[in-house]
Chains A and B, each alone.
Chain A
Amino acid sequence: MAEYKWPDADKRTWIGKRVSRIDGPDKVSGRAKYTYDLNRPGMLFGIFVRCPYAHAKVVSIDTSAAEKMTGVKAIKVIQGPGSEIQWAGDEVVALAAVDEATAAAAVQAVKVEYEKLPHLVVDTDPVGAGPRGKSTAQESEGDPDKAFRESAAVVEGDYGVPVITHCCLEAHGQISEWTDKEHLLVHPSTQNVSGIATQMGTPLGMPPGNIKVHMDHVGGGFGSKFGPDRWGIVTAQLSQLAGGKPVKIMLERASELEVAGCRPSTYARVKVGARQDGTIVAWESKSWGTGGVQPSGSPPLPYIFKIPNYRKQYTSIENNIGPQRAWRAPNHPQAAAITMTALDDLAAALAMDPLDFFLKNIEMTGALAPVFTEELHKAAELIDWKKNWHQRGDTTPGPIKRGLGLSIHTWGGRGHNGNCDLTIHPDGSVEVKTGSQDLGTGTRTAIRIVAADAFAIPLEGVTVKLGDNEYPPDGGSGGSTTIGGVSAFTRRAALDALDELYAKVAPALDAKPEELEAWAGAIRVKNAPDRKIAWKDACAKLGVTPITTRGKNPGPGNLTNSGVGGVQMADASVDIETGVVKMNRIVAVQDCGLVINTKLAESQCYGSLIMGVSYALYEEKIMDQATGRMLNPNMEFYKLAGIGDIGEFVVHMMGGKGYDERGVVGLGEPPVVSPGAAISNAVANAIGVRVPYLPLTPDRVLEALAKKGGNNARI
């Protein structure tokens, strides 16, 4: 029986190499079809009548005029009279028409009367939120008051991150069509191909087995596309009303930003104290945030550092904005932007270099302390920290001030539960099928690498099929769990398949099956490598019956693991006359256990850094309390970083001894955690004062400069 482990470095054919993504040619040529791109035969276009108020009761709905319009094929009231609407843009009536223009005109023809109710859409004032602020119990350990009294330095300040929105470039949406009275075919835009049928079956009152789900590509999710959502269910209902014709709903851009993406905000008043030697001894935080009308949870504060004496409390503001969705590394970027900044301010109060300060306290990070230590040194070397760092406040003359800042982060990332079927055909070709999805993280490519590596054959010898719920189910792609899951189950399936192949081939090589190995395109005898049979010839021994094995995760052997560390150091310049922050460089040093594909692992880090610059400097879902609406539900005022805004990056993947043997760990979340904190710290180092809240927009920078630190002044 196979020993389920990863091959040693000298026995890897493809694992860890730099491999271009399999679906690259389809994506660069426009051949890749996303749900948004599909034109199903006779397809109708669905759209919603949306509530313009942040909080209202539906009084009456009149769809009669819309029903009479030529080209309108189905109308369904989603939230009828008496329904209470909790956020602007929520869906009230759905309809489908022969084209988008007709659908849009029909929306105008639907008359809905609302009774407006009082709303709250802002979140910066937990006291002003009144009864909508739900406070959790205070949590404490040790004796924070005593520890603060005995501290040589104590700083107190405000920190925070606003609500941001996912802004997937392919909007949320789905196409549904009834292939007969009992069977549904759906094309979603999802991170969770295998999970859609169950989530649709219940509300539609039909067996999930009658719902076929297919998706080849998805244009971004970032944590916001795990369910079919109301619009997904509605496409099926409208299709039914229209006699089974395909109905497509893709959210308009404004709705995408208003209702389909919300990373909860977190703000905090933090007090933190240290001894003269830099040892952190006490933490106190009062934090709050919103994730819409449902309660939001507190981020893990203080982040990573186990400070011996602490007191903390969190208030969830339940307000009338679009509902929260998971966003890459839920709660961690917020926790880092509050903790690593407060600690940086504390280091500044002690006139300590934050690199020395973090290293001084690194044991408080627990089991990952050796990883963080190694990474801090590596990052410092790559950005030349000791040469470029200066005490807070760049004293060079002129308006441009430059500074360095750092942050550390962690994440779990163990592979999720999943399955694949791996087939070795007698002609030597290999197929892996799984109900997984490739979000652009390189899942297809990783599966191909793992299978081709096990068989030591060319990458082209492996075909990967995913994106369909007729394949063995896989988990949703969230929480950096996909790479660990698919790598582990593909490896197990491949090793089992090899065992079967060895049994067929062994007589020809006059050896026992357990004496064989796959290497360099052949099956050979381990101790007599000249006795070998080429891969194709070996597979031909199967006759006409392929080998198919089911790979599962979890399963035998430690192929995936949890817990990674990362360090980032940012170099930014600030124009103190205009308040504009400009990125020079970010160095990211990241661990993810055994790297399957170095090229795409680096891409994950680059992407995270770019997203990080974007939320650190530009992104904010700006809500207007007067109207209850989002003021920037578009891409000119909901700003994403562009190609010229990001500066330069240096990414270093930790690997080799001490990392590889841990197995495969996910990478999608961790590197997106630190940029906000690291950039905020770089700005504070440059201009000498803390800009309390992200994004670090010119007005906030100028305000902080005018107040000379304001609330964040040293006590």
Chain B
Amino acid sequence: MNDEDNNEKESGSGISRRDFLKVSGISLSVPLVVGHRVITVAGADVKIYGPGKAPITLEINGKRFPAEVEPRDTLLDTMRNRLDITGAKRVCDRGTCGACTVIMDGRPVYSCSVLAIEAQGKPISTVEGLAQNDTLHPIQQAFIDNDGQQCGFCTPGFVVACKAFLDKNPNPTPEEVKKGLGGNLCRCGTYVGVRAAVLQAAKAHGAVKGGGQHG
């Protein structure tokens, strides 16, 4: 069943705070899982979810995953607790450490600070999606070659952040690496390996690009 079929359309010139509370109040007594409602606010359609669970679909690493989430569920918790996609880690859970980094719509985001309902319709790449079949992505290989990992708990977030960083800065200076990857924290102390890994991966990336120009 298409999610849209479930949506109850409301229209009007706007919504007052009282109306909003009324909508929320009604939702509390409706079945546990309901689709979103659409209301029009200042001429624009706004989707209203919850407070109960709503069915959504996430597109992760090229596959579509249906899930039932509450509006307050983060993308991180939805992936980890409902979809068993656990590469992104929960560490600080408030957008400081970067262990939960994924790429959404081409940009690196802290998935602990993105709501699952916000992530609908936006392609998401996690660390699990980087390798092609059994071949590791050059960034992953560079992390191994330069030992940019110890306990490995920050590693998936770091690898994804590096991927996003290199996509934007294919040929970074060491100074740019220090700034560009400042959003990921490691406790074991793997930054020396990570720096070297980024530069190695950049070089590999450059080589591929160079080859492409000649070919």
Please list the residues of chain A having a beta carbon within 8 angstroms of any beta carbon in chain B: 20-21, 23-34, 36-37, 39, 99-101, 167-171, 217-220, 222, 252-253, 439-441, 599-600, 602-603, 606-611, 614, 634-636, 640-644, 646, 649
Contact = CB atoms under 8 A, between A and B. Distances in A.
B91 A30 contact: no
A644 B183 CA distance: 10
Contacts of B28: none
Contact of B150 (A607, A634, A644): A607
B153 A29 contact: no
Interface stretch (B16-24, B187-195, B204-212): B187-195
Given A607-B188, A643-B181, A643-B195, A636 B150 contact: no
Interface string B90-126: 1111101101000000000000000000000000001
B126 A30 contact: yes
Contacts of A614: 189
Given A642-B185, A643-B195, A30 B151 contact: no
A37 B70 CA distance: 21
Contact of B145 (A20, A640, A646): A20
Given A440-B151, A607-B190, A29 B96 contact: no
A30 B153 contact: no
3 tightest A-B CB contacts, nearest first? A30-B87, A610-B189, A219-B153
A635 B189 contact: no
A575 to B, nearest CB: 18
Given A610-B189, A634-B96, A635-B96, A644 B89 contact: no
A93 B91 CA distance: 24
Contacts of B97: 169, 635
B93 A101 contact: no
Contact of B92 (A222, A253, A610): A253
A29 B140 contact: yes
B93 A608 contact: no
13 contacts: A29-B130, A39-B81, A169-B186, A440-B150, A603-B147, A607-B190, A610-B189, A636-B96, A640-B185, A642-B182, A642-B191, A644-B178, A649-B192
B144 A20 contact: yes
A643 B93 CA distance: 20
B131 interface: yes
Nearest to B147: A603
Contacts of A642: 182, 184-185, 191
Interface stretch (B2-10, B40-48, B154-162): B154-162
B89 A606 contact: no
B183 to A, nearest CB: 8
Contacts of B84: 39
For the complex, would chain B's binding face be called helix, strand, loop or mixed by DSSP majority? Answer: loop
A167 B187 contact: yes
A20 B143 CA distance: 10
Contact of B192 (A24, A606, A644): A606
Contact of A36 (B90, B136, B178, B193): B90
Contacts of B214: none
Interface string B146-177: 01011111111001000000000000000001
Contacts of A220: 151, 153, 187-188
B147 A20 contact: yes
B72 interface: yes
Nearest to A646: B191
Given A29-B131, A610-B189, A101 B70 contact: yes
B151 A644 contact: no
A24 B144 contact: yes
Contact of B147 (A26, A600, A640): A600
Interface residues of B, number: 57
A416 to B, nearest CB: 20
Given A100-B77, A101-B72, A635-B185, A28 B89 contact: no
B80 interface: yes
A21 B188 CA distance: 15
A640 B94 CA distance: 15
Given A20-B144, A101-B72, A611 B156 contact: no
Contacts of B145: 20
Given A21-B149, A24-B149, A30 B189 contact: no
A607 B88 CA distance: 22
A169 B151 contact: yes
A29 B152 CA distance: 10
Contact of B189 (A37, A101, A608, A644): A608
B188 A33 contact: no
B127 interface: yes
Contacts of A222: 187
A607 B130 CA distance: 26
Given A28-B144, A100-B81, A634 B152 contact: no
Contacts of A25: 136, 140, 144
Nearest to A611: B189
Given A28-B143, A634-B96, 10 more contacts: A24-B143, A28-B136, A28-B140, A29-B136, A219-B89, A219-B153, A602-B147, A607-B189, A610-B186, A643-B186
A217 B152 contact: yes
B182 A219 contact: no
Nearest to B198: A643
B193 A29 contact: no
B177 A643 contact: yes
Given A100-B77, A649-B192, A169 B154 contact: yes
A253 B151 contact: no
Given A29-B131, A253-B91, A634-B92, A170 B151 contact: yes
A640 B187 contact: yes
A99 B53 CA distance: 13
A610 B140 CA distance: 22
A258 to B, nearest CB: 14
Contacts of B149: 21, 24, 27-28, 440
Contacts of B87: 29-30
A608 B93 CA distance: 26
A644 B91 contact: no
B193 A606 contact: yes
B60 to A, nearest CB: 12
Nearest to B188: A607
A417 B136 CA distance: 38
B214 to A, nearest CB: 30
Given A29-B136, A644-B182, A169 B144 contact: no
A603 B87 CA distance: 23
A41 to B, nearest CB: 11
B159 to A, nearest CB: 6
Nearest to A643: B191
B57 interface: no
B182 A169 contact: no
B147 A27 contact: no
A252 B92 CA distance: 8
B155 A27 contact: yes
Nearest to B93: A253
Contacts of B153: 34, 169-170, 219-220
Nearest to B88: A30
A212 B155 CA distance: 29
A37 B195 contact: no
Contacts of B200: none
Nearest to B156: A30
B147 A30 contact: no
Interface centre among A30, A440, A611, A646 (most CB of B within 10 A): A30
Nearest to A18: B147
A221 to B, nearest CB: 8
A441 B93 CA distance: 26
